[in-house]
Amino acid sequence: MNRTLRISIIVVISFLTYYVIFEYFGKIFAAIDTLLTFPIGSYFLTYIIAGIPIFIGTAIIHRDFNIFSYLGLKGNFISAFLLTFIFTLPMFLGGLTFFSLNYEITLPAILKLTIFAGLFEELYFRGFLFGQLFKFTKIGFIPSIFLGALLFASGHLYQSTEFSVLLGVFLTTFMGAIFFAWLYVEWNYNLWVPIFMHFFMNLSWALFTVSENALGGVKSNIFRGLTIALAIAATVIYKKRKKMKLEVNKKTLWWKGHKKESSALCQAN
């Protein structure tokens, strides 16, 4: 079977299985927490259990168990943390200047919205669903990210019942998925970059009374826009100074040639 087709089938089946299991997240969490009586630990374990199809799928694709490497977690952890902290400074400065602290937020809520969301959403959506397709097949950036962005955005539609707000939330999170995927690719498939970017952006949203949903208002979106613009500009400038080509370009938007696929495979091994 053609490698691109084989990987695509495994990725889709594995992710859809994860997605079905995730629908029972609350019930799985309740069952685990009955035993552990430690909500944060139970929440973490529930994410791990839901992700079992992802881990199995990764192992099947690459025929070994070095799954975290193939999912992008072998990159530099510290540099990703520092880099994304700088990128997200506009959001924190904007929060301090124009918004008040959110005194109602609890530590468990912060952990769920920041650490767990940043880690597991990026691991499953970008590291697996997008990453396995774009890095290890001939499929280009747009078709590789489309399904993941669609599901990622759909998963945030619980945040409102108003159509206009829902549309705004959908478009915001859909574009966010594309942005995180782009960062992942351009920073040499270091998944820690989108993980920490996601973490810090969510943290700024949680610490200040910015908005009750992902859409936000005019002021919050100005600073979010500045953060995204800074991240994109810094990435492009860095790669130009290092004389490195952007991985996402007109030749890789839709379909990649054999040479590109081989290069990605060599990087992974």
pLDDT digits (tens, 9 = 90+) for 75-125: 999 999 999 999 999 999 999 999 999 999 999 999 999 999 999 999 999
Q: Looking at residue 258, what is its pLDDT?
A: 53
Look at residue 149 and tell me if it is in a domain: yes
Q: Looking at residue 102, what is its pLDDT?
A: 94
pLDDT, tens digit (0-9, with 9 covering 90-100), for 195-252: 999 999 999 999 999 998 899 999 999 999 999 999 999 999 999 999 999 999 999 9
For the chain, give the mean pLDDT.
Answer: 93
Inform me whether the pLDDT recorded for 261 exceeds 80: no
Q: Looking at residue 263, what is its pLDDT?
A: 46
End-to-end CA distance of the chain: 22
Q: What is the largest CA-CA distance in the chain?
A: 57
> Cα separation of 221 and 99, whole Å?
13
Percent of the chain with pLDDT strictly greater than 90: 90
> Cα separation of 38 and 128, whole Å?
29
> Cα separation of 220 and 232, whole Å?
18
Look at residue 41 and tell me if it is in a domain: no
Look at residue 19 and tell me if it is in a domain: no
**pLDDT average, residue stretch 132-138:** 97
Look at residue 35 and tell me if it is in a domain: no
Look at residue 45 and tell me if it is in a domain: no
Range of the domain at 225: 74-268
Inform me whether the pLDDT recorded for 156 exceeds 70: yes
Q: Which residues contact 208 (CB under 8 A, 6 or more apart)?
A: 95, 96, 99, 100, 101, 102
> Cα separation of 261 and 46, whole Å?
34
pLDDT, tens digit (0-9, with 9 covering 90-100), for 51-79: 999 999 999 999 998 999 999 999 999 99
Burial class of residue 160 in the structure, from the number of CB atoms within 10 Å of its CB (0-12 exposed, 13-18 middle, 19+ buried): middle
Q: Looking at residue 257, what is its pLDDT?
A: 73
Q: Looking at residue 266, what is its pLDDT?
A: 42
Give yes or no for a contact between 208 and 95, defined as CB atoms under 8 angstroms apart.
yes
Q: How far is CA 176 from the centre of its chain?
A: 8
E strand or H helix that includes residue 109: helix 107-110
Inform me whether the pLDDT recorded for 260 exceeds 70: no
The tokens describing 218, both together, are 């005019």
Look at residue 183 and tell me if it is in a domain: yes
Tell me the three state secondary structure of residue 150.
Answer: helix
Q: Looking at residue 179, what is its pLDDT?
A: 98
Tell me the three state secondary structure of residue 43.
Answer: helix
Look at residue 23 and tell me if it is in a domain: no
Q: Looking at residue 161, what is its pLDDT?
A: 87
Q: DSSP code of 212?
A: S
**pLDDT average, residue stretch 15-29:** 97
Q: Give the number of domains in the chain.
A: 1
Query: Sign of dihedral through CA atoms 25, 212, 119, 122?
Result: positive
Give yes or no for a contact between 122 and 180, defined as CB atoms under 8 angstroms apart.
yes
Q: Looking at residue 265, what is its pLDDT?
A: 45
- Band (pLDDT 50/70/90 cuts) for residue 268 is very low
Look at residue 43 and tell me if it is in a domain: no
